[in-house]
Amino acid sequence: MCVDHDAQLPALPPPRFEAHHEHLTLEAADGNVFNALCAEPSESSGTSVIVLPDIRGLFKFYEDLAVRFAQEGHRSVAIDYFGRTAGTGGRGADFPYMEHVAQVNSEGFHADLDAAIALLREKDPQTRIFTVGFCFGGNMAWASATDGHGVEGAIGFYGKPEVDRPAGDGAIWDRCHLIEGRVLSLFGGDDPGIPAENIDRLREAMESAGVDYQTVTYAAAPHSFFDRTQSDHQDASLDAWNRIIGFMSVTK
């Protein structure tokens, strides 16, 4: 299961910069209008981040994460997947997200991603763009590097490499030859939904395709360990955060 509706970011190092944010709607090329949050740093690093939520879609945990990236100097936008099926109205903890997850497909996701990229490029045409996704969004992060979006790096927490996600793209381990940019994949070793053999197969597929990749498995960590309520796994969360920040600081 992904993080709860009331999840909180784990304890992270102190922010480097001030940041402000705004809720907005973006429009994809097919006319879809969807929710997003854009966070602006007081001092820009020249790097931008697109936050890709889990199966619940956009809610406070991922909005807070976008702001936290901005506090590191990285302009950030967190996006929702469900504009086509759920609109842009408010949603509570009882939002039936699984009904909408089943309707997210490749064409719609990539169109929405393009709209988020366009927003970031409008603000800084030369920005280096990274995607960071969790569970469902972990797969979406990997997919973001396969469709010519110009993403420099894709960071996926606990994605499932065998799943056709977004629907119509196919399993990522069959599409590693399409990946442009670098990949960082983060897993919990105590996650029965993602067995070690699947992680090994993904690693082998990345290697065979010549992808510049890193794969990290935290031995005792469960699915969705990057959450303050998972206090036993604070060390894994902090290590993952530091790896992400380091991954985005490397220039190629």
pLDDT tens for residues 102-118?
Answer: 999 999 999 999 999 99
Task: Work out the average pLDDT over 216-237.
Answer: 94
DSSP β-bridge partners for residue 49: 76, 130
What Å distances lie between residue 189 and 14, 23, 124, 195, 198, CA to CA? 28, 35, 38, 8, 12
Task: Work out the average pLDDT over 224-241.
Answer: 94
- Ordered by start, the domain boundaries in the chain are 19-249
C-alpha–C-alpha distance, residues 232 and 76, integer Å: 29
> pLDDT tens-digit profile of 40-68?
999 999 999 999 999 999 999 999 999 99
Residue 153 has pLDDT above 80, yes or no: yes
Percent with pLDDT over 90 in the chain: 93
214 contacts: CB under 8 Å, gap ≥ 6: 182, 183, 184, 185, 243, 247
C-alpha–C-alpha distance, residues 154 and 213, integer Å: 9
Give the H or E element holding residue 84: helix 83-86
Sign of the torsion formed by the C-alpha atoms of 32, 182, 10 and 188: positive
pLDDT at 19: 98
Q: Which fold has domain 19-249?
A: Rossmann fold (3.40.50)
